[in-house]
């Protein structure tokens, strides 16, 4: 009789411990999984395309820098209103280039290198053109896309 | 009546539940000095289940294809809530599972559990081991980073060395002459459909055989216990062994969680097929012993190309490994001792070559 | 015997065919070459009369179809030395040094003639030469100065685009140094001979030879090639500004330009040197051995205080960037994703570079603008790094909680097992 009395509270303790442990681990495992299942706000466009800017942002004959993956990109609105996008990393020594409204060209401040609006190197030290991106305007957003390899 | 009892009766009326479950109640695990090795099979199975679950979760966000794969894994690691956890667990569990699979195989080897009548269990197990390594090889490429790209290039190149069928096999694996996005798509298909299907079928076969044949005991012990049945020590599988197995599984979970949180799996650099291979490219650790062996074989042995010889040798060893139980049955004990010796050599070789391959430049 | 003959016949036929083929081949290599009998003898002669066929085949004049007689006169078709080298045939013998520019110019200053070979080749080299220091001294009778062949070589003269040409950008400095680094040769002139030694330590030399950047300046970039002359003390800035436009623009509007011009000091060269242009560092603004300001300014005066301000500003930004880099590095190695912040660091570093360029305006207020912009960026990245570390710690706490939960389960299972197995 006494043995049973001693066993009973111990049994309840062990069962309580086990039950709470199972519950705690179940929560610890399910919580991340449930959070994981909810899609994040930032959509995944892959490496090929980013939103370079908004239509209202750029005046004609102006440019702005944007982020393309891990490198900077340059979005230009020409004086005729067209959009051009290209990599903003100078092919000479990797400085970040900029759009010069007065020259209507892409210019690198480091050693006076110049590129035309298609990214071709036309003057100064740069040995190669800037990689140019395809531009697509959808609604209010301007997308820059890496050119597909054929 | 307790609610559990009600459920059991309901199932029994429809599935014959009690008859199905009855053998499980009788299932027993032999108890002896080396019983701890029995856990390994269950742990491997548990890790496989983890892989399937985390794999399915990853499938919700992963995108196969050369232009999207790396970015989708990056997205999982950085943007998806707890994506880093799911992916890191998947990668760590993969490595742990391959390790436990090897350990399970070696423990069965040394405990001689492959003896008659368990030959088919061994054969299905060895095929499962090959499938698991195939999982590792195909899954490794999926993030499409530089290391994986070149490891796949080297690995499939070696496959191409097999005489006659090597080249067509390599083209089949690569989906073309070179490793490209087509290879990635193909490996994805292998990894999430072909291999899981084959593995599931073989696991079921493997478990059915274990269930039917019971758990084996070392030969010497078998002799003892046959002579003296009262000396036999056993533990009921359900619930005693299962509870202990459960403890092992929770420990495995703890280890996985710690590894995933403290050493998250890294992304690497996106693969660029036009960049030359980085120096000292090596496969994952579970292929190192083969890779290192191939590196040590001289370019020409007699009139045969060294690498071809190596690949053929490994192929032969794999075949012998598969058919091992059939070499031992009804053999004099000297042969059995030889086989034990070979087993020890094999373990030492795999371990030693893996370490050597890791340390070599 | 007959059998042997039959067996040998195909062999014999092959031999004849091969021999015929060899002659055809030999003849065809000669086809298209203008006859140049001079080399028949002169190829075997020792220096200084020796010119091998191999050497001359590298020469661009030879490749275009000119012969020895084009410059030396004589009759290249004759094998008789007396006929070939006769005054009647116009043979000039060894060209006197004093005749060389005129001789080369007789073709190279003739646009109509050069147009036949390369319409876009310039034809003003001789005119330019006459304006150069070499040309002017030459006209005054100095034969030690460089003439065409000294730089361009002769008999194996290659186009400048050829990497082996003595006037290819990568080789120009070595070519100039043949005279200009020879102290004995240059003794009579009052210019130093350490230019090559200094240039070899420069950042431009490194760009050219190590990085292979052919846009990097060599001697001729700043001094001109045919019209070679030092730019002049008051024109140095113009030369440098061709590449370093921003710095030149800043300097143009600065107080130092007036001061240097007034003191006839050569602009950029005052701080940066001319040949041994090293990589500039913030130490230029310091007080140590590399410091340049202290060469003119008194320690403690207004300018020196401004200098100290500039240096401390740059140091502050540099430290801020390094600090953010450090924490981002720790976060990254703990598995956190910080690529956005890394990109921000690139922009912060660009601000630092811009601040260093703005130094040339000698306006502390302008420099400070750039430094503040950079500091803001670095601070943002530092914050991102700190947030990543906080997230990392959250993960570890989460891990700890899970491990505790697992520990409870393990304890519970252990006790439960003990319980059901103890009766």
Task: Indicate whether A30 and A87 sit together in one domain.
Answer: no
Q: Which residues contact A88 (CB under 8 A, 6 or more apart)?
A: A65, A71, A72, A73, A74, A96, A97, A98, A130
Helix B306-322 / helix B146-159 crossing angle, nearest 10 deg: 80
Task: Indicate whether A84 and A139 sit together in one domain.
Answer: yes
Looking at residue C31, its pLDDT comes to: 47
Q: What is the mean pLDDT of residues C254-261?
A: 90
* Average pLDDT along chain B: 90
Q: Is residue A29 part of a domain?
A: yes
Q: Which residues contact B181 (CB under 8 A, 6 or more apart)?
A: B65, B66, B67
Task: Indicate whether A20 and A86 sit together in one domain.
Answer: no
Q: Which residue of B has its CA nearest to A47?
A: B71
Alpha-carbon distance of B183 to B173, in angstroms, equals: 7
Task: Indicate whether A104 and A124 sit together in one domain.
Answer: yes
Looking at the complex, report in whole angstroms how far the Cα of residue C392 sits from the nearest Cα belonging to chain B: 9
What is the residue whose two structure tokens read 């083929």?
Answer: C21
What residues of B are in contact with residue C397 (Cβ under 8 Å)?
Answer: none
Looking at residue C34, its pLDDT comes to: 65
Question: Where does the pLDDT of residue C8 fall: very low under 50, low under 70, confident under 90, or very high at 90 and above?
Answer: low
Q: Is the pLDDT of residue A26 over 60?
A: yes
Q: Does any CB of chain B come closer than 8 Å to the CB of residue A46?
A: yes
Q: Are B322 and B126 a contacting pair, CB within 8 Å?
A: yes
Q: Does any CB of chain A come closer than 8 Å to the CB of residue C340?
A: yes
pLDDT winner (highest mean) among A3-7, B26-30, B173-177, B220-224: B173-177
Range scoring the smallest mean pLDDT among A48-57, A118-127, B43-52, C357-366: A48-57
Task: Indicate whether A58 and A126 sit together in one domain.
Answer: yes
Q: Are C183 and C192 a contacting pair, CB within 8 Å?
A: no
Q: Is the pLDDT of residue B43 over 90?
A: yes
Q: What percent of chain C has pLDDT over 90?
A: 47
Q: Is residue A43 part of a domain?
A: no
Cβ distance B78 to C420 less than 8 Å, yes or no, reads no
Alpha-carbon distance of B349 to C303, in angstroms, equals: 74
Q: Which residues contact B331 (CB under 8 A, 6 or more apart)?
A: none
Q: What is the mean pLDDT of residues B110-117?
A: 88
Predicted confidence (pLDDT) per residue in B135-170, tens digit: 999 999 999 999 899 999 989 988 888 888 999 999
Measured in residues, chain A has a length of 150
DSSP, collapsed to helix, strand or coil, labels residue A83 as: strand
Alpha-carbon distance of B177 to B162, in angstroms, equals: 16
Q: Is the pLDDT of residue B99 over 60?
A: yes
Q: What is the mean pLDDT of residues B101-105?
A: 95
Predicted confidence (pLDDT) per residue in C339-354, tens digit: 888 888 988 998 898 8
Predicted confidence (pLDDT) per residue in C46-69, tens digit: 877 888 888 888 899 988 888 888
Task: Indicate whether A24 and A54 sit together in one domain.
Answer: no
Burial of C28 by CB count in 10 Å (0-12 exposed, 13-18 middle, 19+ buried)? Answer: exposed
Burial of B38 by CB count in 10 Å (0-12 exposed, 13-18 middle, 19+ buried)? Answer: buried
Q: Which of A36, A46, A47 sits opposite B81 (nearest CB)?
A: A36
Q: Are A143 and A137 a contacting pair, CB within 8 Å?
A: yes
Range scoring the smallest mean pLDDT among B186-195, C84-93, C284-293: C84-93
Domains of chain B: residue spans and CATH = 25-359 (1.20.810.10)
* ipTM of the shown complex: 0.84
Q: Is residue A108 part of a domain?
A: yes
Q: Is residue A44 part of a domain?
A: no
Instruction: Give the number of other Cβ atoms within 10 Å of residue B298's Cβ.
Output: 7
Alpha-carbon distance of C225 to B320, in angstroms, equals: 77
Looking at residue C32, its pLDDT comes to: 46
Predicted confidence (pLDDT) per residue in B286-343, tens digit: 998 998 998 888 888 888 888 888 889 999 999 999 998 888 766 667 777 888 888 8
- Domain containing A112: what range? 49-145
Q: What does the block give as tokens for C212?
A: 């292979």
Q: What percent of chain C has pLDDT over 70?
A: 92
Looking at residue C404, its pLDDT comes to: 93
Cβ distance B82 to A42 less than 8 Å, yes or no, reads no
What radius of gyration, in Å, describes the C-alpha atoms of chain C? 36
Q: Is the pLDDT of residue C219 over 50?
A: yes
Alpha-carbon distance of B199 to B131, in angstroms, equals: 7
* Average pLDDT along chain C: 87
Q: Which residue of C has its CA nearest to B255?
A: C403
Q: Does any CB of chain C come closer than 8 Å to the CB of residue A72?
A: yes
Cβ distance A44 to B83 less than 8 Å, yes or no, reads no
Q: Is the pLDDT of residue A3 over 70?
A: no
Interface of C with A in 389-418 (CB under 8 A): 401-402, 404-406, 408-413, 415-416
Q: Which of B72, B75, B80 sits opposite A36 (nearest CB)?
A: B80
Q: What is the mean pLDDT of residues C309-326?
A: 94
Q: What percent of chain B has pLDDT over 90?
A: 50
Task: Indicate whether A6 and A63 sit together in one domain.
Answer: no
- Work out how many CB contacts closer than 8 A connect A with C: 79
Task: Indicate whether A83 and A135 sit together in one domain.
Answer: yes
Question: Where does the pLDDT of residue C288 fall: very low under 50, low under 70, confident under 90, or very high at 90 and above?
Answer: confident
Task: Indicate whether A94 and A28 sit together in one domain.
Answer: no
Q: Is residue A150 part of a domain?
A: no
The CA dihedral of C364, C365, C366, C369, to the nearest 10 degrees, is: 120
Predicted confidence (pLDDT) per residue in B50-98, tens digit: 999 999 999 999 999 888 899 899 889 888 989 999 999 999 999 999 9
Task: Indicate whether A21 and A58 sit together in one domain.
Answer: no
Interface of C with B in 330-389 (CB under 8 A): 334-335, 337, 339
The CA dihedral of B229, B232, B238, B241, to the nearest 10 degrees, is: -170
CA angle B195, A46, B68 (to 5 degrees): 30
Task: Indicate whether A17 and A85 sit together in one domain.
Answer: no
Predicted confidence (pLDDT) per residue in B27-38, tens digit: 888 888 888 899
Alpha-carbon distance of C267 to C262, in angstroms, equals: 11
First to last CA, chain C: 112
Q: Under CATH, to which class is C302-421 assigned?
A: mainly alpha
Q: Are B149 and B179 a contacting pair, CB within 8 Å?
A: yes
Question: Which has the closest alpha carbon to B270: C21, C339, C294, C383?
Answer: C339
Predicted confidence (pLDDT) per residue in A35-71, tens digit: 999 988 776 666 678 888 888 888 999 999 988 877 8
Half-sphere exposure of B335 (CA within 13 A, CB side): 9
Q: Which position has the higher pLDDT, B195 or B282? A: B195
Number of domains forming the structure of chain A: 2
Task: Indicate whether A88 and A107 sit together in one domain.
Answer: yes
């Amino acid at each position: 009789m006494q043995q049973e009395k001693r066993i009973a509270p111990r049994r309840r303790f062990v069962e309580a411990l086990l039950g709470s442990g199972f519950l705690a681990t179940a929560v610890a495992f399910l919580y991340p999984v449930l959070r994981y299942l909810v899609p994040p706000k930032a959509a995944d466009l892959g490496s090929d395309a980013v939103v370079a800017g908004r239509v209202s942002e750029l005046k004609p004959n102006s440019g702005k820098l944007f982020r393309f993956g891990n490198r900077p990109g340059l979005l230009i609105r020409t004086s005729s209103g067209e959009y051009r996008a290209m990599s903003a990393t100078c092919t000479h020594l990797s400085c970040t280039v900029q759009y010069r409204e007065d020259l209507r060209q892409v210019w690198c401040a480091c050693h006076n290198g110049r590129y035309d609006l298609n990214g071709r190197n036309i003057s100064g030290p740069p040995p190669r053109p800037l990689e140019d991106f395809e531009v697509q305007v959808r609604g209010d957003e301007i997308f820059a896309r890496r050119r597909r390899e054929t | 009546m307790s609610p559990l009892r009600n459920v059991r009766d309901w199932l029994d009326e429809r599935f014959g539940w009690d008859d199905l479950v009855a053998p499980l109640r009788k299932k027993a695990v032999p108890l002896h000095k080396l019983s701890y090795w029995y856990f390994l099979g269950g742990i491997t199975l548990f890790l496989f289940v983890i892989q399937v679950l985390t794999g399915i979760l990853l499938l919700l966000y992963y995108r196969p294809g050369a232009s999207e794969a790396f970015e989708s894994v990056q997205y999982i690691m950085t943007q998806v809530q707890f994506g880093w956890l799911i992916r890191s667990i998947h990668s760590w569990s993969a490595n742990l599972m391959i390790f436990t699979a090897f350990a399970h195989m070696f423990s069965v080897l040394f405990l001689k559990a492959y003896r008659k009548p368990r030959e088919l269990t061994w054969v299905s197990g060895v095929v499962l081991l090959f499938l698991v390594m195939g999982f590792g090889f195909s899954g490794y490429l999926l993030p499409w980073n530089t290391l994986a790209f070149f490891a796949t290039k080297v690995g499939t190149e070696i496959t191409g060395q097999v005489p006659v069928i090597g080249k067509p096999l390599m083209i089949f694996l690569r989906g073309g002459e070179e490793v490209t996005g087509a290879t990635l798509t193909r490996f994805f298909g292998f990894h999430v459909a072909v291999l899981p299907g084959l593995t599931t079928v073989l696991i079921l076969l493997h478990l059915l055989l274990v269930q039917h044949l019971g758990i084996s005991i070392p030969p010497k012990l078998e002799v003892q216990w046959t002579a003296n049945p009262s000396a036999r020590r056993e533990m009921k599988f359900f619930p005693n062994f299962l509870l202990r197995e459960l403890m092992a599984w929770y420990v495995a979970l703890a280890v996985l969680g710690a590894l995933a949180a403290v050493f998250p799996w890294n992304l690497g650099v996106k693969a660029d097929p036009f960049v030359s291979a980085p120096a000292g490219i090596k496969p994952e650790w579970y292929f190192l012993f083969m890779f290192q062996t191939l590196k040590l074989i001289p370019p020409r042995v007699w009139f045969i190309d060294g690498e071809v010889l190596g690949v053929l040798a490994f192929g032969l060893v794999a075949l012998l490994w598969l058919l091992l139980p059939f070499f031992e049955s009804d053999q004099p004990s000297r042969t059995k001792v030889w086989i034990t010796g070979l087993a020890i050599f094999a373990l030492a070789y795999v371990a030693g070559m893996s370490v050597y391959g890791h340390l070599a430049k | 015997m007959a059998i042997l003959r039959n067996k040998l016949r195909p062999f014999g036929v092959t031999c004849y065919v091969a021999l015929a083929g060899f002659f055809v081949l030999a003849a065809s290599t000669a086809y298209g070459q203008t006859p140049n009998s001079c080399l028949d003898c002169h190829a075997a002669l020792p220096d200084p009369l020796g010119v091998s066929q191999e050497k001359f085949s590298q020469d661009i004049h030879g490749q275009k179809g000119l012969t020895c007689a084009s410059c030396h006169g004589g009759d290249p078709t004759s094998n008789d030395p007396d006929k070939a080298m006769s005054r009647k045939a116009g043979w000039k013998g060894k060209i006197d040094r004093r005749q060389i520019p005129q001789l080369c110019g007789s073709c190279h200053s003739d646009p109509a003639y050069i147009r036949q070979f390369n319409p876009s080749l310039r034809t003003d080299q001789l005119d330019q030469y006459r304006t150069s220091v070499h040309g002017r001294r030459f006209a005054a009778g100095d034969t030690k100065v460089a003439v065409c062949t000294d730089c361009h070589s002769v008999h194996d003269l290659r186009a400048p685009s050829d990497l082996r040409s003595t006037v290819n950008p990568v080789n120009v400095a070595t070519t100039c140094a043949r005279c200009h680094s020879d102290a004995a040769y240059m003794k009579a002139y009052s210019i130093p001979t350490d230019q090559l030694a200094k240039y070899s330590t420069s950042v431009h030399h490194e760009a050219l030879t190590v990085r292979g950047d052919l846009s990097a300046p060599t001697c001729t970039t700043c001094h001109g090639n045919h019209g070679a002359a030092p730019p002049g003390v008051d024109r140095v800035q113009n030369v440098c500004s061709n590449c370093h436009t921003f710095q030149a623009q800043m300097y143009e509007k600065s107080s130092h330009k007036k001061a240097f011009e007034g003191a006839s000091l050569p602009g950029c060269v005052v701080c940066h040197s001319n040949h041994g242009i090293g990589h500039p560092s913030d130490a230029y603004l310091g007080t140590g051995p590399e410091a340049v300001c202290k060469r003119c300014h008194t320690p403690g005066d207004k300018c020196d205080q401004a200098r100290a301000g500039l240096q401390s500003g740059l140091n502050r930004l540099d430290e801020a960037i390094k600090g953010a880099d450090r924490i981002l590095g720790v976060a990254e190695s703990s598995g956190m994703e910080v690529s956005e912040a890394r990109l921000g660091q690139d922009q912060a570093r660009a601000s630092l570079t811009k601040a260093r360029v703005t130094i040339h305006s000698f306006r502390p207020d302008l420099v400070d603008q750039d430094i503040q912009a950079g500091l803001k960026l670095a601070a943002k990245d530092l914050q991102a790094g700190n947030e990543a570390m906080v997230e990392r710690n959250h993960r570890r706490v989460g891990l700890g909680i899970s491990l505790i939960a697992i520990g409870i389960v393990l304890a519970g299972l252990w006790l439960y097992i003990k319980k059901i197995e103890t009766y």
